[in-house]
Structure 1
């Protein structure tokens, strides 16, 4: 099942995992060390992030390393930019109206 990036980043644990991976690739065990939850729970979060392509995996021998996929985050950035533009337009219209009041 392929998940949506917005579903993936809705969870604070997954956002924290993305922040960790933004600086360096890590194994699931290394990621799990940063959380007060089971390795299995962290693996489920990683699975969701992998399904929406927010993280990618690379095998190095017996180890699997996960790394942040910045191109996938462009979807989020593009959506936020649309919202930002709408707010700026609304504030601009408000600024135009205020002097007349």
Structure 2
């Protein structure tokens, strides 16, 4: 199965793993200890992140370390960034509408 960055970030557990590993390199066991789900489930999430090139797995002896590969998150960032202006404009428009309603209510009240 072909995997990409969007599949990697689609799951909230994987987003949490990305956040953890972005702060420090952790072993798979260290990552698993931070969650209230099974070790096999965490291993599956880590495998998907690895297949998407979001994390690199480095073996040192019996330990497997997870290291973030932030450059592979860029496509998702760029895709989201293109909609930033659209959403900012819509939020500003909604804010103006609410201000207008509030102003009318204050005049009538």
Distance between the aligned counterparts of 2:87 and 2:57, measured in 1?
37
Question: CA offset at residue 83 of structure 1?
Answer: 1.3
Structure exhibiting the larger radius of gyration computed from Cα positions = 2
Q: Which aligned segments of 4 or more residues in structure 1 are displaced greater than 3 angstroms?
A: 85-91
Distance between the aligned counterparts of 1:89 and 1:16, measured in 2?
29
Distance between the aligned counterparts of 1:90 and 1:18, measured in 2?
30
Deviations 1:46-76 (A, max 9, x none): 0111111111111112211011111011111
Q: How does 1:47-62 map to 2 (within 5 A)?
A: 47-62=47-62
When normalised by structure 1's length, the TM-score is 0.81
SS of the residue aligned with 2:36?
coil
- Root-mean-square deviation (CA), in Å? 2.0
When normalised by structure 2's length, the TM-score is 0.75
Shift of the 34–88 alpha-carbon distance from structure 1 to 2, 3 Å rule, reads closer
Aligned residues: 93
| Structure with greater helix percent | 2
Give unpaired runs (5+ residues) of structure 1: 92-101
